[in-house]
Chains A and B, each alone.
Chain A
């Protein structure tokens, strides 16, 4: 045998061996491409273990294999838009303000839970997940609620009953020491319309008005409505006195409160553990009424069924999991507790013994769900920027700043 033939034979043999090795692997993959009887869930890290437990208990009853995939919370929304159908999820966890975008994309399916199930949820939590310009439908099962509140260090200041009392106490505390903050609320560097919303609503501001059908109307922008503009001079006064300082960023605000350099802090339940471990004595209340009730933005997290559930042939199964099983009180309790939030289910809410969560829950009463229409993405930066600019210590008038913001939002929505 010549050297050449030997060489050729060697190659042929080696390649055949490799191909033989590859065959079973590709067989495995091709069966994975069509997930017959597998329900795939995308979840964030916090809730992974509980979702795993709850969904697998459900899966055992329904004869379905459940595959739980962990993703970064924000990635869930973005990746759903680009995912290949073969690897797409059937169920995702998400925030209610994604609803508009995902429904407009056609990526999530409408749900119809039973009347008995609906009754177990506050109306606003279901509203938060409802969207539709022609027909309003529910696109998600609410699981957990969150909102900011005014955290008061009760050793440094009394819990204020009125806005005037808060102003007085905060300014008195600030003037005690140049390092002190009056009200620690994060805004720097890019503005934070979410944390500032209680001040905004307290002065009569709103983001989108509703049309007759009760849907948010992107043409009715309340960022510079006449009532708010009338009250906007109060912002200039706060700025002059240093009640709110837009150069404070998240860490500055947090550290100031934890170090006793601020008696008042605007934050939400994601800091519940920090607060409990701080050793401080504190109470969480709603920001006192300014001109109107100073209600926060409400955030609702929940589960949605994607359009891929139907293409994968698990559509009714996914709806059964999301719109029935996950909406029960016992599932809700476990899922909300998993990331330290108040459960959306009313029965489960009554069983919450955690005083911090309960106080945050009360601070959210009457709150406004963050608008879930896709046009909201035109608002965040402008509204946050208006607050940033009008509370940065320079003599900028709030009135024209918010008017500019409203005009820019209108241009951006187009």
Chain B
């Protein structure tokens, strides 16, 4: 009965395959004619048009390295499509370019960041930071005055500030040289501020945009280093620097007590006491991030526990998903089963729902006081609040999310195993278990094992599952900052974005690099092992 069913199915598959195969060849036939040529020219011209546009934008912004990359890429693309001998490049080049753009460049970027101090307080370039420190360290004097202000031009067209002391109502004209009192009745003030003055023309409307840079740098010296500075267009304040920048020696000196802040080679001006000026700047700091990782109790204390759990999590999630997926695939591979399609569709559903959604739903379902799972079953299991149960929950939910993937793959792989092989094994007297163990499984593993390794690597870094389900919690009993379900990548997130002073991209990239080497080592070992499977062929 079963054999006839298989035979009846076989021709149908063939026709399907034939149609599928003939489609591209028919397409090729259509596109190699004049229509194809026209399309090719059109698309290539489009690419070149976009490239020219981009080149102008890049040149305009002075981004010359990007400009060079663009020019080389575009010429290479043109050559690949216009030179006859370069035909294979047609297929290689776009793929290579995409790989460069989405794989190689991010990796280079991560490696680069791992050797810098890129983090909160170290974002700008050094000259920008110096500027920032100078601005931030301006302070109002003891009884500093604040003024209503309006920018104006005097009879000679020079920019001056019309000033009204907010406290006393005294009126002044401020220039780059000095503050000069003028008679009160010469200045008109209304509810919006200074409205005009005799002998001066106010700068208004579009004129304000034109003088913005000049006004930003405008200072009216008053007393020593103190100066009146425009703070907007209607207000000016008297501010004095508290730090003096010594450009020649590249250092700041605090005026009040003479403390010297020098470049500490880690992207900050720091005093001998360790006090740092803010902002700092982004700079290369060599292997500091890695030595911090090695020395920090934040990393050292929980590392082994987190590493073991990461490994266990990734391994169990993949193994259980595979076993469950395979069992279901075997069960549903039975030919002639009723409602087979509906079952298959139902089983693929968890895979079809966006993962983070299911994770959040599961988080609600598993709440031990209010969740559906405990309420319906009458259990009192602390799914997410007990260390061990939380680990079980994380694995169970991960299995729920991944088994459809292995189900689909196993189903496909099972169908690709020739029926003759299993039949021959049966004829030779093998029982169902022996047939499965000695024939089906090894053949299946050839297909599935590399995917399992990929899935393991993915789960090793499965940030989403942990973050959305438990957030790494519950808090660990060993009193370290890593939670009990934190895996390396979710703990990295906590280290880099929820400790210290906020974001620490440098440290995060450093840990990411280390994780990359761990995953790469494990994966390559595993691939090397599975090569042995190939010998079965």
- Show the binding face of A for B, using Cβ within 8 Å: 7, 10-11, 14-15, 17-19, 21-23, 25-27, 29-30, 33, 36-37, 61-64, 81, 86, 101, 103-107, 109-117, 132-135, 137, 188-191, 245, 247-249, 251-252, 307, 310, 313-317, 319-324, 374-375, 377-378, 380-382, 385-386, 388-389, 392-394, 404, 407-408, 411-414
Contacts and interface: CB of A to CB of B under 8 A. Distances in A.
Nearest to A107: B123
Contact of A375 (B135, B235, B385, B500): B500
B124 interface: yes
Given A11-B45, A307-B132, A385-B475, A315 B212 contact: yes
Contact of B44 (A11, A189, A394): A11
13 contacts: A11-B41, A22-B52, A63-B206, A101-B120, A101-B501, A135-B137, A316-B215, A316-B232, A317-B233, A377-B500, A382-B481, A411-B298, A412-B500
B495 to A, nearest CB: 8
Interface in B149-208: 166-167, 204-208
Nearest to B129: A106
A381 B82 contact: no
Nearest to A376: B502
Contacts of A115: 146, 166-167
B121 interface: yes
A315 B131 CA distance: 14
Nearest to B205: A63
A110 B135 contact: yes
B469 to A, nearest CB: 8
Contacts of A105: 120-124, 279
Nearest to A247: B369
Given A112-B146, A137-B139, A319-B231, 16 more contacts: A18-B45, A18-B48, A30-B57, A81-B123, A81-B503, A105-B120, A113-B231, A115-B166, A191-B473, A378-B500, A380-B498, A381-B494, A388-B473, A392-B385, A412-B500, A414-B499
Contacts of B49: 15, 18-19, 21-22
B34 to A, nearest CB: 11
B336 interface: no
A243 to B, nearest CB: 14
A106 B212 contact: no
A149 to B, nearest CB: 24
Contacts of B54: 26
B146 A114 contact: yes
B123 A113 contact: no
Interface in B460-474: 470-471, 473-474
B232 to A, nearest CB: 4
B9 interface: no
B40 to A, nearest CB: 9
Contacts of A7: 37
Nearest to B40: A11
Contacts of B120: 101, 104-105, 374
A8 B278 CA distance: 60
Given A11-B44, A64-B209, A189-B384, A22 B470 contact: no
Nearest to B236: A112
B278 A106 contact: yes
Interface of B: 37, 41-42, 44-46, 48-50, 52-54, 56-57, 60-61, 82, 120-124, 128-129, 132-133, 135-140, 146, 148, 166-167, 204-209, 212-213, 215-216, 230-235, 237, 239, 242-243, 254, 275, 277-279, 296-298, 363-364, 367-370, 384-385, 470-471, 473-475, 479-481, 494, 497-503
A307 B216 CA distance: 12
Contact of B57 (A29, A132, A134): A29
B305 to A, nearest CB: 15
B243 A134 contact: yes
Contacts of A107: 123-124
A41 to B, nearest CB: 16
Nearest to B278: A104
Given A14-B41, A106-B123, A247-B368, A374 B216 contact: no
Nearest to B166: A115
Contacts of B216: 310, 313, 315-316
Contacts of B237: 112
A374 B123 CA distance: 14
Contacts of A307: 128, 132
Given A113-B231, A189-B473, A317-B233, A248 B370 contact: yes
A315 B82 CA distance: 51
B374 to A, nearest CB: 10
Given A316-B216, A404-B479, A381 B498 contact: yes
For B61, B146, B231, B471, which residue has the most chain A Cβ atoms within 10 angstroms?
B231
A388 B231 contact: no
Contact of A323 (B53, B231, B364, B385): B231
Given A11-B44, A22-B53, A110 B234 contact: no
B53 A26 contact: yes
B231 A112 contact: yes
B132 A19 contact: no
A324 B191 CA distance: 13
A80 B298 CA distance: 29
Contacts of A413: 499-501
B212 A316 contact: yes
B212 A104 contact: no
B48 A19 contact: yes
For B140, B206, B298, B498, which residue has the most chain A Cβ atoms within 10 angstroms?
B498
B506 to A, nearest CB: 13
Contacts of A377: 497-502
B298 A313 contact: no
A265 to B, nearest CB: 15
Contact of B298 (A25, A61, A113, A412): A412
Given A33-B57, A105-B123, A320-B234, A15 B136 contact: no
Contacts of B206: 37, 63
A11 B204 CA distance: 54
Nearest to A314: B212
B129 A114 contact: no
Contacts of A394: 385
Contacts of A252: 367, 370
Nearest to B470: A189
Contact of A412 (B44, B166, B279, B499): B499
A247 B45 CA distance: 61
B230 A316 contact: yes
A106 B54 CA distance: 31
A387 to B, nearest CB: 11
Contacts of A408: 479-481
Contact of A111 (B137, B231, B298, B473): B231
B56 A23 contact: yes
A273 to B, nearest CB: 24
Contact of A134 (B44, B167, B277, B474): B277
Contacts of B148: 114
A329 B42 CA distance: 59
A374 B474 CA distance: 25
